[in-house]
Structure 1
Amino acid sequence: QRHYEKLKEYAAKLEEYVEKIKICGEDRNSYSKTDHSATFMRIKTDYMGNDQLLPAYNVQVGVADEYIAVVDVNQYRSDMDCFIPLMNKFYTTYGFYPKYPVQMLDMVLTTITSSVSSMEWKNI
């Protein structure tokens, strides 16, 4: 009887873990209990500069000639992981890739240099 009860507990835990892995997905290793699509990111929140892990999204804004051309919201923590999906969204919207891609995040312009090799096949 004791082994049967223990086996039932293991089966219940296995179902719980399968559900959690299903929510988390293949690309991530964490999720928020309140917002399953958000990813935990380090965000400075207080006046002392202490950071906390909070559920958040990475918002990318593509600007062309001082106009907002494309906006993308992702679960990726790194800006470099968000850049290629932003360029693909630009392409699906306008039918071409920008000649001089620049990424704008939190109102700071940053020239993309490290993902050049992954974009060369698209002639960007």
Structure 2
Amino acid sequence: MSYQPQFPGLFSTDQGAVAAHAHQEHPGLPATQKQMHYAEALSAKIGIELPKGIANDRSALSAWIDTHKPKPIEGRFADYPSSKQVAFAERIARLKHREIPQQCFRDKVMMSRWIDGNKPR
């Protein structure tokens, strides 16, 4: 025979339980330091001030960042790795005395996988 404890009123709203959807009505968590650094750099780059009090709401700041961040490159070169990615891969290749496969220079996903597989540990 097993004993199953009873906790009357454990999930009663009378004792301060809050429904999950009720949190959406209240302001969210404050923005992280990393979020704020990125948002400040982005606002300086585009010349738009951050809205007042946005640092107090992580989701509002995230929405502001999504609205104002640079759009991804489209077109013929959209799948090519960035210059920073290529430079990082070339540094790894020099350190490890390896060659980067040529197809990696035409596909950013392949370049990323090559970097992850060859990073010095």
> Which interval holds the TM-score relative to the shorter structure?
under 0.3
Bigger strand share: 1
Q: TM-score scaled by structure 1?
A: 0.23
Q: Which has the higher contact order (CA 8 A, sep 6+)?
A: 2
Structure whose residues are more often helix by fraction: 2
Q: Which has the larger radius of gyration?
A: 2
